[in-house]
Amino acid sequence: MNAKSLSIVIPMYQEAGNVIPLVERVHAALAAYPARWELILVNDGSRDATAREMKQAQAQFGPHVRALHFARNNGQTAAMQAGIDAARGEIIATMDGDQQNDPADIPGMAEAIDARDLDVLCGRRAHRKDAWLLRKLPSSIANRLIARVTGVRISDYGCSLKLYRAEVIKKVRLYGEMHRFIPVWAAMVTSPDRIGEIDVAHHARTIGASKYGISRTFRVLLDLLTVFFFLRFQARPGHFFGGLGLVFAGFGGVLATYLAWCKFVLGEHIGTRPAFFTAILLLMFAVQFITTGVVAEMLTRVFHQGRPQEPVGHLPQAGGDDAWHAPQTPPPPRESTAA
């Protein structure tokens, strides 16, 4: 089995002090990697010494260490998308820049993604070094909820250490804060059976501070609603809005029919009844949802006829063959000089 060329994408925001040690760990982990590889560092508008340390890493290790810089903070998703766009390897690995993911897991994952014939291989933090209440518990709840809603059975969506086949991940466009749902988006262009997991190491953060807190849980719930909508109704939004409109129309129609029977058969006065205004409100909702569905269908067709939106940020030129880290070949054995 031939080893695939590898691109490692690491988004970084305010990670001064982590850049050089992490780059050193990547080189140590891939010292024996049998194919060429590159390291792509994405500076997501950091205001500390992150950019300066990236430049130092490039000078120290060579042109296969490539740096992208955003002028302002665009979020981890945009940074990850920019790195994936710039990647040239057949396999693309992503990981966090805080040294909690271990680069030593990457070679084994690269072998496993081929051996198991997968398109996406997600790391699973078997012994996670985070606070239970603020990180582990919300993450566990979110992982189970995401798996149940989407049908993509991944037990650790929050682990950034993942490997992708380039021809699959480059078909996925990431927006907003959707990086944690990449396996779900990938399932829209490949079979969920080709998405797997593997146990990886996890280390406690020693430099800098976490950028996430308990508030992330609420953002995940909102993002999950978006994911659910795209999974079920991306190509047919009219079914979603039209379905809601028909539900409101059904309840409103039944209530309006009952009121009409009271008015014209029983001769009762209905103008001041709460049910009268409720029926009008339900029918108005029905009209709004149905017309929204029609507009959404028109917009969907226009979108699919156009080109997808490009992520923000500047992407440098791909570079030549010298911008790769070539596999190291051992020197030939020395001939014996014994008399």
Instruction: Sketch the domain layout of the chain as residue ranges.
Output: 6-232, 237-305
Range scoring the smallest mean pLDDT among 56-65, 160-169, 215-224, 283-292: 215-224
- The answer to whether residues 66 and 59 touch, using CB atoms and an 8 Å cutoff, is no
Min mean pLDDT across 62-71, 72-81, 237-246, 319-328 is at 319-328
Reported as a single tens digit per residue, the pLDDT across 178-215 is 787 888 889 888 988 899 999 999 888 777 666 555 55
Lowest mean pLDDT among 28-42, 73-87, 193-207, 320-334: 320-334
Model confidence over 269-295: pLDDT tens digits?
A: 888 899 999 999 999 999 999 999 899
Alpha helices in 87-174 (DSSP H): 106-115, 137-150, 166-169
Mean pLDDT for the stretch of residues 100-124: 95
Whether 303 contacts 58, CB under 8 Å: no
Asked if 103 and 27 count as a contact pair (C-beta separation under 8 A), the reply is no
More confident residue, 161 or 145: 161
How far apart (Å, rounded) are the C-alpha atoms in residues 140 and 164?
A: 23
Helices 106-115 + 19-29 axis angle, to 10: 50
Domain range 6-232, CATH architecture: Alpha-Beta Complex (3.90)
Model pLDDT, residue 309: 45
Give the C-alpha separation, 160 to 122, whole Å.
Answer: 8
> 251 forms bridges with which residues in the sheet?
none
Between 164 and 125, the more confident residue is: 164
Task: Give the pLDDT of residue 117.
Answer: 93
Assessment of whether the complete model's pTM goes beyond 0.95: no
Give the model's confidence band at 41: pLDDT under 50 very low, under 70 low, under 90 confident, else very high.
very high
Q: What is the pLDDT of residues 58-94, one digit of tens each?
A: 999 999 999 999 999 998 899 999 999 999 999 999 9
User: Does the pLDDT of residue 130 top 70, yes or no?
Assistant: no
- For the sheet with 120-125, list strands across it: 65-69, 37-43, 6-12, 91-94, 162-165, 120-125, 195-200
pLDDT at 314: 43
DSSP class of 11: E
In this prediction, residue 184 carries a pLDDT of: 87
Q: Is the pLDDT of residue 320 over 50?
A: yes
What residues contact 131, with CB distance under 8 A and at least 6 apart?
Answer: none
Q: What is the SS3 assignment for 7?
A: strand
What are the start-end ranges of the E strands in the chain?
6-12, 37-43, 65-69, 91-94, 120-125, 162-165, 195-200
Spatial CA neighbour of 6 closest among 23, 30, 25: 30
Query: In this predicted model, which residue has the larger pLDDT, 220 or 88?
Result: 88
Helix (H, G, I), strand (E, B) or coil at 65: strand
d(CA 177, CA 180): 7
Mean pLDDT computed over every residue of the chain: 85
Lowest mean pLDDT among 11-15, 82-86, 171-175: 171-175
Residues in the chain: 339
CA end-to-end span of the chain: 42
Across the range 141-169, mean pLDDT stands at 84
